[in-house]
Structure 1
Amino acid sequence: MGKKIYLSLFNPTKDPKKMKIVIFGAAGAGTSTLAKAFARENGYEHLEADHYYWLKTEHPYENKRDPTERNHQFLADLNSYDKVVVAGSVFNWTPVMPDQFQLAVFLWLPTDIRMQRLILREKQRYGTLLETDPWLKKENAAFITWASRYDEPDFRGRSHNQHQQWIGKLKIPVLEITGDISIAERLQRMQEKVHNMRS
């Protein structure tokens, strides 16, 4: 018999003690950076979608977690906290996912700026392993190619079109932050949005 997951559909927008936020966008758009900063400044719990999507293996991002197990673990953790900010694209994991949040934040950067930052991040993360580990070198090259196609209109992976379709279906407020602006300004816009929602 499968595990039961009890979900709360209560919308706590007006409750200062309760708020669940999801930040999503292309790889390299800065979702994790913003989520960490917002959580730190506002006393929120920070969850990373990748932590649930991928199994822990010797080579990172190699094996996906079983979707049922992934959803159970994620929703259990999400509902363990009153104030949570999630970094990652989770809306397509299960039909009930959009009902778990009170605010969605969408980040977009021009492709050239985003890819420069993403390539630099990968070099800082893996260092010389990108050249000395054949498996990692191959997988990283494939990842960079995949990430670079986000804004292509006919791309079927995680894409700008897909995210815009999600936004169009959401029944919660969506804050869209576009362009190359500082983390401080992004953070300020998020904080202002949350404040206005509770006013």
Structure 2
Amino acid sequence: MTNKTGIVLVGLNGAGKSTLAKYAAEKLAFDLLEVEDYWFEKQHDYQNPRKASEASQLMMEAIARAPKGFIIGGNVSSLSKELVPSLSLIVYVDVAKEIRVQRVIQRDKKRYGSLEKGTDLYHSRQDFLTFVQSRTPDTILSWMESTNIPMLTIDGTNTLEQNTRIIQQRLLSL
């Protein structure tokens, strides 16, 4: 364990991990580490991910540079086990499937605009939406339990301020 605080926000697609991570990192004066920034050299280039070992190495370097602490937004279970000792708290962001699916649809509209049916991007996003709808938290929860790191489950429909306060209170009790 390092002397700095390391938090990872995990959950299913559309739970609000990234949004909460950005807000909480600012309020706590921690470095923000977005998992997608380490997996993909180009933003949203989902067809060309880095190897897990490379993504892990890049994230470990960022953790080493974080002066006070860091918040990771996104699931790290497929990254290196070397990350685990850097973590002080795992926060599972829980949100009902219907809300998560709507959030993903809204995010896609904001990111891509109107998708024309029949295009590769349209089919890719529809495939992703099907994945989001069928995904369960089993793998994430299993990983969390295997780490022996303190855990916290929060309601992703709470306000960012409420959830940040809950995280702060949990950190104080560690």
Q: TM-score, normalised by structure 1?
A: 0.80
RMSD: 1.8
Distance (Å, rounded) in 2 between the aligned partners of 1:180 and 1:69: 34
Q: Which residue matches 1:6?
A: none
Instruction: Please state if 1:183 is matched with 2:168.
Output: no
C-alpha separation between the residues in 1 aligned to 2:58 and 2:81? 16
What fraction of aligned residue pairs are identical, expressed as a percent? Answer: 28
Contact 2:11 2:74 in 1 (8 A): yes
Q: Highest Rg: 1 or 2?
A: 1
- What is the number of equivalent residue pairs in this alignment? 173
Deviation of residue 96 (structure 1)? 2.2
The answer on whether the counterparts of 1:91 and 1:97 sit within 8 Å (CA) in structure 2 is no
2:125 maps to what in 1? 140
Gapped regions of structure 2 (runs ≥ 5): none
Is 1:119 aligned with 2:96?
no
Tell me the amino acid that sits aligned with residue 56 of structure 1. Answer: K
Secondary structure of 1:175 counterpart: strand
Task: Report the Cα offset of residue 182 of structure 1.
Answer: 2.2
Distance in 2 between residues matched to 1:20 and 1:167, nearest whole Å: 14
Instruction: Return the structure number with greater relative CO, CA threshold 8 A, min gap 6.
Output: 2
Residue pairs, 1:1-199, within 5 angstroms: 9-10=1-2, 12=3, 18-56=4-42, 60-82=45-67, 83-128=69-114, 130-131=115-116, 134-151=119-136, 160-178=137-155, 180-197=157-174
Q: Which has the higher helix share?
A: 2
Q: Partners of 1:121 and 1:161 in 2: how far apart?
A: 24
Is the 2:10–2:73 Cα contact (8 Å) retained in structure 1?
Answer: yes
Instruction: Find the aligned partners of 1:122 and 1:180 in 2 and give their Cα distance.
Output: 19
**What is the CA distance between 1:67 and its match in structure 2?**
2.4
Give the secondary-structure state (helix, strand or coil) at the position aligned to 1:62: coil
Cα distance in 1, alignment partners of residues 117 and 126 from structure 2: 14
| TM-score for both structures, normalised by structure 2 | 0.91
Q: How far, CA to CA, are the matches of 1:163 and 1:47 in structure 2? A: 19
**How many angstroms does 1:149 deviate by?**
1.2
In the aligned structure 2, how far is the partner of 1:179 from the partner of 1:66? 30
Contact 2:15 2:156 in 1 (8 A): no
